[in-house]
Chains A and B, each alone.
Chain A
Amino acid sequence: MLKTRNNKAWFLVLPVVLSVAFSAIIPLMTVINYSVQDILGPNRKVFVGLEWFQEVLRDPDLHGAFIRQLLFTMIVLAIEIPLGILIALSLPARGWKASLSLVLIALPLLVPFNVVGTIWQIFGRADIGLGGHFLASLGIDYNYATNPLHAWLTVILMDVWHWTPLVALLCYAGLRAIPEGYYQAAKIDGAKAWAVFRYIQLPKLGGVLMIGLLLRFMDSFMIYTEPFVLTGGGPGNATTFLSVYLTKLAVGQFDLGPAAAFSLVYFLIIQIVSFILYTVIQRNANPQAPRQETT
């Protein structure tokens, strides 16, 4: 049964379909192609089925990278979300001070990723970096290149410096959207600052916080450039996160099959978590809307 008579409208979608095809679908198909074959040369390839998948899922190095990745993401989320809220709450609401502080806060977001890595690499060095020199002068033997704990602290600090502003800006926008009447009513109801935060500001921030959480989850889970520039995944494997490991696998060792298989698994993990977060956002956005029921 034909529902639409005029199918010419599909031509309007064509440019998007083409560009998505070139930028996403064709590369993805290539990856799938690699993930199920062992390609030995231009005309020598063997179909291996799910062998690569089985191999990467059993790979202890990958397990290590995955656990480090999970830990890293959870730590930065646990710091950046509350810190972002705190910064947003303490920013002035209006006037030139508000504009100035917003610009200052947004600055880290404008720095290219590899430059962020370079900045912190230099900053942390005991010989020429301010931060490293300062710690050394306090008598702390700080060296992110040899001490795994120091490397972790530096990477986390770097990410917090780089991305907390995003959470803060989102929350700031969310806070400004709360009508004045809520604060006035809270005053009349005798609510203290904590109650105002707990029962007015936090619930009203729910939507933007979920968006912040989603963005920060995806970005931190895929983090590559900054730790690559800062530590190169070291010392040892200490800061080898998933994408760093993946690059080593694909470009370093030229294990295209396992790398492709692992890429797909990686892609799937991010898709699933993002989908869950997105669903929560949608439900948050219209709590009154009845749930879709199939009849």
Chain B
Amino acid sequence: MARIELDDLAHAYMPDPQKPEDYALRPMTMTWQDGGAYALLGPSGCGKSTLLNIISGLVRPSHGRVLFDGQDVTNLPTEARNIAQVFQFPVIYDTMTVHDNLAFPLRNRRVPEPEVRTRVAQVAELLELTGDLRNRASGLSADMKQKISLGRGLVRKDVAAILFDEPLTVIDPHLKWQLRSKLKQIHYELKLSLIYVTHDQVEALTFADQVVLMEGGEVVQAGTPQALFEEPEHVFVGYFIGSPGMNLLPCAVAPGGQGVQVDGQTYELPIDPDHLERARGRGSLTLGIRPEFLGCSNSPQPGAVQAHITRVEDLGNYKIATAVMGQHTVKAKLAEDAAILTGPGYLSFPPEQTKLYANSRIVR
């Protein structure tokens, strides 16, 4: 187990990168604490797998360093790094039994056979594979195979971290949660550092203590699931996390500093004037509010602005109201018993949860 540090790390697949767009991974510096459960979240092609492969040593970064417990491992090959990795598609050795599959990493490292047997037995117990140890691995189902892949990582005593590259993609939905809770249990019991790559926000938010959200080769925000939800530092975080995502309205500070203008229309929102002042002149502004925090009602409320409610959807345990402000629509997530009808309505923006973004970055 180890603390993993990325020091000014960047990677480009092309030989001589000039523009930021040439990088698959833009320069980043961050620390992954020992024993943490991290999720690397982002849309496909955002560089999360590249980052994972750099940590495991399958890819050598073109810039910067990777440190395990303060030791520079940038130039060390994968096998010298004590990293385990589970891939999107289960990798098993077809001709071997489950036992031999699990023993493979140990035997390659010339661990004495009695110890191999003890370790394999322990890991098989943990993963509930004991009954299948003598069977051939090739005939098993995808979730069992994925457990074997994981087991090959767990069987080694010295692993610094286990990396997961979308490990549940090929698993049947009803088995996904089983395997995921198994992962959480293992994390809890073994106190291993886990880094989990996924593009599924539910998977990331339920699995990890810390979520690192990436987009376009860049880390846009790293924090607890709660921070990502309540305090998105970048409009992409607001958009990507949450269902539906954050309401994002291009706006301008209204003349006189009272409220904002959306599509030329002034809305007097209860935003702190100092806050608005800090945002002024810092580039294009975006107003962001989560549907969960946006108030919506048919009757006037103090501080609420007028809008037209075009649609109300009852989704069982909550309602989604869609309203129009200028040329933009906003959504509000309301309680299932909220009395709301389409037609003229009022939207209230709680100042604490109403965020301002200048050039997509948060203004505090």
A-to-B contact residues, CB < 8 Å: 179, 181-182, 184-185, 187-192, 195, 199-200, 203-204, 287-288
Contact = CB atoms under 8 A, between A and B. Distances in A.
A189 B104 contact: yes
Contacts of B93: 199-200, 203
Interface of B: 53, 56-58, 77-79, 83-85, 87-89, 91, 93-96, 104-105, 108-109, 138-139, 149, 152-153
Contact of B89 (A181, A187, A191, A287): A181
Contact of A181 (B57, B88, B104, B108): B88
A163 B142 CA distance: 39
Given A195-B108, A200-B93, A187 B87 contact: no
A20 to B, nearest CB: 39
Contacts of A189: 104-105, 108, 152
A199 B89 CA distance: 17
B108 A199 contact: no
A181 to B, nearest CB: 4
The 9 closest A-B CB pairs, nearest first, are A185-B91, A190-B108, A189-B105, A187-B78, A190-B79, A181-B87, A199-B93, A203-B95, A203-B94
A214 B91 CA distance: 29
Contacts of B94: 203-204
A285 to B, nearest CB: 13
A184 B86 CA distance: 10
Contact of A287 (B57, B105, B139): B139
**Interface SS of chain B:** mixed
A236 B103 CA distance: 58
A181 B91 CA distance: 7
Nearest to A200: B93
Residue among A179, A181, A204 with the most chain B CB within 10 A? A181
A161 to B, nearest CB: 33
Given A179-B89, A181-B87, A182-B91, A188 B56 contact: yes
Contacts of A179: 89
A204 B152 CA distance: 20
A185 B149 contact: yes
Residue among A182, A185, A188, A203 with the most chain B CB within 10 A? A188
Contacts of B83: 188
B87 A184 contact: yes
B93 to A, nearest CB: 5
A192 B110 CA distance: 12
Contacts of A204: 94
A184 B85 CA distance: 9
Contacts of B108: 189-192, 195
Contacts of B57: 187
A288 B153 CA distance: 26
19 contacts: A181-B87, A181-B88, A181-B89, A184-B78, A184-B87, A185-B87, A185-B91, A187-B57, A187-B79, A188-B78, A188-B85, A189-B104, A189-B105, A190-B79, A190-B105, A190-B108, A192-B108, A195-B108, A203-B94
A191 B96 CA distance: 14
B85 A185 contact: yes
A199 B108 CA distance: 12
Contacts of A190: 79, 105, 108-109
Contacts of B138: 287-288
Nearest to A198: B95
Contacts of A195: 104, 108
